Structure 1
Amino acid sequence: MSRLRMGIVGTGIMGRGHAEVFAAHPAVELTAVSRKPLGDATVYAGYRDLLASGTVDAISITTPDHLHADVMVAAAEAGVHILVEKPFTTTVADADRAVAAIRQAGVTAMCLFNHRWVPAYAQAKEKMPLIGEPVVGYARKDDTIHVPTEMIGWADRTTCGWFLSSHDIDLLAWLYDDHVVDVFATARYGKLRGMGVDTPDAMQIQARFSRGAVATFESAWIYPNTFPTMVDSYVTVVGEDGVIQLDRQKENIQLATTQGYAYPRNMLQRVVHGVPAGAYRDAIHHFVDCVLTGAEPLISVESSRHVTAVLAAAHESARTGAPVRL
């Protein structure tokens, strides 16, 4: 295959982001979208009509978190390659049927955990042998309240854990080269419920990995909108022989205007001289390259299924107040 015909299911913020990256890729043609116009692509009423059209070789799934699984299964059954936004799914049952359909069909599939392409995180992976066996880690990813109250209209059908900690669980499991076996989690409700959005304000997940290392995953999305970045992201990993710290709050630029003070973000998404760049673009291009060459993606659907299992167990723990073994 020398050229990839791409479709997008879900044409919100992330769908538009995918479309911009595909439009700048010389080997990709955006041919179909569902359900709102994007560029010159043909618009279909739903994903089943899009898949039945025969106009796509692969699709990006950028729907709300809880709607990924059905689209993945249908795409796999149609022999269409799959790029899906994180989290992979929001139930283990959905993850299992998606993985089964993908492996049975033999299509290329990848969940877009784009943090693996952030240069500092990729460098941390290379440097992990220098700090020895992992001992303890901490990953914080907190959003301003703009995100659950204005940016997305389906915050009541997900949580900050699914929306934010999914990235960090994938990242630390990759850095540790290990998998989680036990979790204990707590969730706090209050502010957002008071605003009519039935979702936790914050979650904290304690995880134990199979070789004995532990990690804490913090997520919240009630920071005031005056915070200088929409996302506050920080990771530390302590090993037996050293420590790695990754602070992404400031990304080498500061901006002060009469409206406020900000640290504009640029590691994930940026445009350089009119061309999309950054970890988000690099991750999507990696998927395209894998489809065109037949290579295996850096992120397997099985590892993405594991992230779903960790978060499902964490939400069960938060509900019951008891630890949960995976």
Structure 2
Amino acid sequence: MKKFRVAVIGCGSIAKHRHIPEYENNEQVELVAFCDLVAERAQHYADKHGAKVYRDYQELLDEVKPDAVSVCLPNALHAPVSIAAAKVGAHVLVEKPMAATDEEAAAMIAAAEEAGVYLMVGHNQRLMPPHVKAKEVLETGRLGRVLSFRTSFGHPGPEGWSIDGRESWFFRKDEAIMGAMGDLGVHKSDLIRWLLDDEVADVAGFIGTVSKEGTDVDDSANCILRMKSGALGSLVASWTYYKGGDNSTVLWCENGVMKIGTDSEDQVIVELRDGTVERYKVGAMATNTKQTASGVIDAFVDCLVNDTKPSISGEEGRKSLAVILAAFESQATGKVISLQQ
């Protein structure tokens, strides 16, 4: 059985809790190199896997020439490191948001195409069991057309998650580029596009820093979306849910309502207009405090094994990023931003 030689670039919390353990559990992967500016973090994993340690990602790429890489770095580095990896022939799994700008996202896609490698974005919400079940229910057609929606993602902030706590890059705008919207909002723009099999047509955004002191990255956002189908909804992202996290979506449809992640016991609830109620226990969604397998790594490795383009491709990541960037433009200009071409 062929094993793919994988390097992890960035050994912070997302690598620690998701990428590395999920690679370890995949028998078709050999972890061959780890890179982090704090060499001790990389060394810990290198010792475990008999792998090499680097502080410079370009040196790693040039010397190791891995089959694939996970890019688990601050947002500002996603594009340059992904492009550099593609240029040495490595398939790329990059954390979200895939880039800081649309131009960067386009350049990443072009670099992967030119090199003949795959580019996948870590939008794990599509793979969470409640969302998979919700999509399955929608596709039966019994709820009819989605008319309006609310999708929300919030938690107390990255200081409780990041390996560096309150000193994390998440709070430094030159590295993070964006705050709660880049961390959580882009997950929900990707989710709603995928769930509804629809694209966002217009965006109005209210985005600000309402609670986190000493930072100029956003900690709260409330956006209104109009889909191409005409469906209207809200997208909320926040680092100020201090009492506890929320990752819920409610879809109001022609024939009833679907509630996703609103109940701890029944992760998907369908209430039809005829009085019928369907409840589904399909498994909880992963949270920062309660880790479950994200499915992202296995999906990425499956693409390598089967030589199949990722469904969560660079193109998909770019469309989800565009929604978030439009929300920032709306906040800056006070205008509704159209994404229709």
- TM-score interval for Structure 1 and Structure 2 normalised by the shorter chain: 0.7 to 0.9
Residues 1:202 and 1:76: Cα distance change in structure 2 (over 3 Å) = same
Which of these residues, 139, 147, 151, is aligned with residue 135 of structure 1? 147
Residues 1:156 and 1:248: Cα distance change in structure 2 (over 3 Å) = farther
Which of these residues, 80, 95, 100, is aligned with residue 90 of structure 1? 100
Aligned to 1:296: 309
Deviations 1:45-83 (A, max 9, x none): 221111111341000011012210011111111110011
Cα offset for 1:132? 1.7
1:241 alignment partner AA = N
Deviations 1:205-262 (A, max 9, x none): 11111121122110111233xx2x4x2211011222222111267368xxxxxxxxxx
1:182–1:324: 8 Å Cα contact kept in structure 2? Answer: yes
Which of these residues, 260, 264, 282, is aligned with residue 246 of structure 1? 260
The answer for unaligned runs of 5 or more in structure 1 is 253-264, 271-275
2:22–2:293: 8 Å Cα contact kept in structure 1? Answer: no
Residues 1:209 and 1:312: Cα distance change in structure 2 (over 3 Å) = same
Which of these residues, 134, 156, 167, is aligned with residue 172 of structure 2? 156
1:118–1:278: 8 Å Cα contact kept in structure 2? Answer: no
Which of these residues, 104, 110, 126, is aligned with residue 116 of structure 1? 126
Distance 1:30 1:248 in 2: 38
1:185–1:204: 8 Å Cα contact kept in structure 2? Answer: yes
Aligned to 1:260: none
1:185–1:314: 8 Å Cα contact kept in structure 2? Answer: yes
Q: Secondary structure at the match of 1:223?
A: coil
Which of these residues, 63, 68, 75, is aligned with residue 58 of structure 1? 68
Pairs aligned (count): 302
Structure 1 stretches of 4+ with a deviation exceeding 3 A read: 145-149, 248-252, 276-279
Distance 2:3 2:93 in 1: 16
Q: Give me the identity figure in percent.
A: 31
Distance 1:233 1:278 in 2: 15
Distance 1:155 1:106 in 2: 35
2:311 alignment partner AA = L
2:130–2:284: 8 Å Cα contact kept in structure 1? Answer: no
1:181–1:207: 8 Å Cα contact kept in structure 2? Answer: yes
Distance 2:326 2:104 in 1: 14
Aligned to 2:11: 11
1:2 alignment partner AA = K
Which of these residues, 221, 231, 238, is aligned with residue 203 of structure 1? 221
1:221 alignment partner AA = W
| 1:20 pairs with 2:21 | yes
Cα offset for 1:190? 3.5
- Which region of structure 1 is more displaced relative to structure 2, 235-244 or 141-150? 141-150
Cα offset for 1:101? 1.0
Distance 1:200 1:299 in 2: 26
| 1:165 pairs with 2:188 | no
For the aligned residue pairs, the C-alpha RMSD in angstroms reads 2.3
2:250–2:257: 8 Å Cα contact kept in structure 1? Answer: yes
Residues 1:153 and 1:251: Cα distance change in structure 2 (over 3 Å) = farther
Deviations 1:273-323 (A, max 9, x none): xxx98441x221111011111122221211110011111111111111111
Residues 1:245 and 1:294: Cα distance change in structure 2 (over 3 Å) = same
Alignment of 1:165-314 (within 5 A): 165-192=185-212, 195-224=213-242, 227=243, 229=244, 231-247=245-261, 250=264, 267-268=285-286, 278-280=292-294, 282-314=295-327
Distance 2:296 2:263 in 1: 21
Q: Secondary structure at the match of 2:151?
A: strand
Which of these residues, 79, 82, 85, is aligned with residue 75 of structure 1? 85
Cα offset for 1:266? 5.7
The answer for unaligned runs of 5 or more in structure 2 is 37-41, 267-282
Q: Secondary structure at the match of 2:64?
A: coil
Aligned to 1:318: 331
Cα offset for 1:181? 1.7
Cα offset for 1:143? 1.2
Residues 1:212 and 1:279: Cα distance change in structure 2 (over 3 Å) = farther
User: In proportion to residue count, which structure has more strand?
Assistant: 1
Cα offset for 1:90? 2.1
